[in-house]
Chain A
Amino acid sequence: MSILVGTETKLCVSGITGREGTFHSLRNREYGTQVVAGVTPGKGGQDVEGIPVFNTFHDAVDRTGANTAMIFVPPRFAADSILEAEDAGIELIIAITEGIPAHDELRVYNIIKKNGRARLVGPNCPGILSPGKANVGIIPASFFSAGNVGVVSRSGTLTYQIGNVLARSGFGNSTIVGIGGDPVPGTDFIDAIGLFQDDPETELIVICGEIGGDAEERAADFIEASVTKPTIAYIAGFTAPPGKTMGHAGAIVSGSRGTAAAKAQALESKGVRVGRTPTEVAEAAAALLGS
């Protein structure tokens, strides 16, 4: 098994006719993901290398049975596209788009939560990969093989870095979930960790956090209360100065809140091993699983 995406995923891509949208949709299909549809208003009836394009998510869902959406449209259109996918009955919406206004994210998050019928992952995330089954997003799949390590991360390249060291040590992944670097992620560490806890294939959970907010601290409490599987963490941004946004909109130390040191301390106090470098995380994972 794996979580969130797999062989049952039927993907519809919003923004499939854009340059990036086309490139990654085709890469996802090449990997084996069922990419069943695309949505670009005004381009209904066209196709992208055989993937039918529809004007609306509702048409795409009616005609193809799509159950997962990937959002690739520019920031100013992204909130609307997410809400359209949700309204059309899509169950899992993965938003890759970076730079969505914070108030749009707040509104979208609260609408989706209130309606309670869809899960949003992202925005500003690299997507989700279940090696050997499906890849939805921009994660370079060639580094990862199927296995028993579940990874959840706020950062794309850092995930590749850690995943690659793990792969070199001979370990594979059940699923890699990029939850994204924005202040209001649709899916939080706790959500993904809970899914990994319930996934029989996942034997070790790696969480990759960074400065800003308190998602790691809340994850620490959740792990203590509800997680029996071994969990290892990495936190980026020990050297980040307060008040500066470090690339990701959500990566900012506000006053004395959201520091890497506080997060590492919160996790360690709940018995979660925190690696000081990405290499150390992979080594700790290897040691736990017995290479």
Chain B
Amino acid sequence: MDLLEYQGKQLFARHGVPVPAGQAARTVEDAVSAAEAIGYPCVVKAQVQIGGRGKLGGIKVCADRAQAEANARAILGMDIRGLTVHEVWVEAASQIDAEYYASVVFDRSAKAPLVMLSTKGGMDIEQVADEDPDAIAHLHVDPLLGFQEFHGRRLAFEAKVDADVVRPVGAMLARLYEVFESEEATLVEVNPLIVTPEREVRALDAKVTLDGNALFRHADNAELRDLSGEDPQERMAKERGLTYVKLDGNIGVLGNGAGLVMSTLDVVAQAGGAPANFLDAGGGSRADAITSAVEVILSDPKVKAVLFNIFGGITRCDEVAKGLIEAFAQIKPTVPFVVRLDGTNDAEGRKLLADAALPNVFTESTMDGAAAKVVELVGGSA
């Protein structure tokens, strides 16, 4: 679960990470009163999960009330790469002496948290890593030991931060690690981490990803989910407890098991088609589960045909067929379906479908055959 910048900063503040004072606002009036309370100069920042907002006009400095109002009006409601800005964060403008980069990431290969620090802040860190890898200091932390003060010193010296801020930068890394660990984040990133002319360090941005599987231990964080930026189908699927990812094509895809569905998307693409979505129905043999999933897929107006790919293991294909027949009776879909049933009781399942003679439903016994059929139904290659 990705947090908005200001949500990340509020988490930071709770753990003692220094951040500029600020307030969130959803209306121009609220943004102006926030600016008045904070004082000038201040900054109005669009709250969307898109990198490079500043270059796209989503971050503006205000010298006075009139500018605060004009900027808030311009930013609230603007479209940034397909996302509408519903909220802004108004914060005190910061004077900047130096821009650093700091992060704590969940390093899957090392199976340990990785802390990184660089004096090349304010730019794309992947680019820095490519062009000047030595400019980034790295340190894996044994999660059973936790982050110690010496870790902070090592990183600060290795990254060659200014000598007078070695201590405060080390202290900030310790607090960022605390955010990572205690809030169960998988990413905590500050870019830029600034040094002010008074030689104070502050997190000027905040990028935090929380582990959705751990939210049962963090009731406050569970409420931070940002639904406004989500695609309508993805939101609908989430409400129904389905694993759904929206894609760009016109062939709806439904299957059982994440790997099989991913593979189905690939096979459809190889056959010249363009998948409209990823949907893992799980064990989904029950009619209500299938109905629910098919409704989500068909709510995407681009879908011209649906491929239903089931490999029955413990799930029996005859039960899936029964579920499908019931679901069809309820939904009465108008687009064609290709149903591939293979595995446990597949012959029985295919017979049930044949006997039901559902309109516009084609059964196939192989994945490749089913993919070819559905591509043919939408009118050939994309």
Contacts and interface: CB of A to CB of B under 8 A. Distances in A.
A161 B260 contact: yes
Interface in B320-364: 342-344
Contact of A237 (B108, B266, B311): B266
A236 to B, nearest CB: 4
Contact of A102 (B109, B142, B213, B268): B213
A101 B314 CA distance: 26
A138 to B, nearest CB: 6
A161 B311 contact: yes
Interface residues of A, number: 63
Contact of A140 (B243, B260, B313, B342): B313
A164 B343 contact: yes
Contacts of B367: 161, 277-279
Interface stretch (B16-24, B36-44, B251-259): B251-259
A277 B214 contact: no
B363 to A, nearest CB: 17
A248 B269 contact: no
Nearest to A249: B213
A157 B108 CA distance: 24
B87 interface: no
Interface residues of B, number: 49
B343 A160 contact: yes
Contacts of A279: 366-368
Contacts of B268: 239
Contacts of A164: 311, 342-343
Given A156-B257, A158-B260, A237-B266, 16 more contacts: A76-B216, A103-B211, A106-B111, A106-B143, A107-B144, A156-B259, A164-B342, A213-B108, A238-B265, A238-B266, A240-B245, A247-B261, A247-B262, A251-B258, A256-B126, A277-B266
27 contacts: A99-B213, A101-B214, A102-B186, A103-B181, A109-B111, A140-B344, A153-B259, A155-B258, A158-B263, A160-B343, A161-B260, A164-B311, A164-B342, A181-B259, A210-B258, A211-B262, A213-B109, A214-B108, A236-B259, A237-B262, A239-B247, A239-B275, A240-B278, A241-B245, A246-B245, A277-B266, A278-B263
Closest 5 CB pairs of A and B: A155-B259, A247-B258, A157-B257, A158-B259, A101-B214
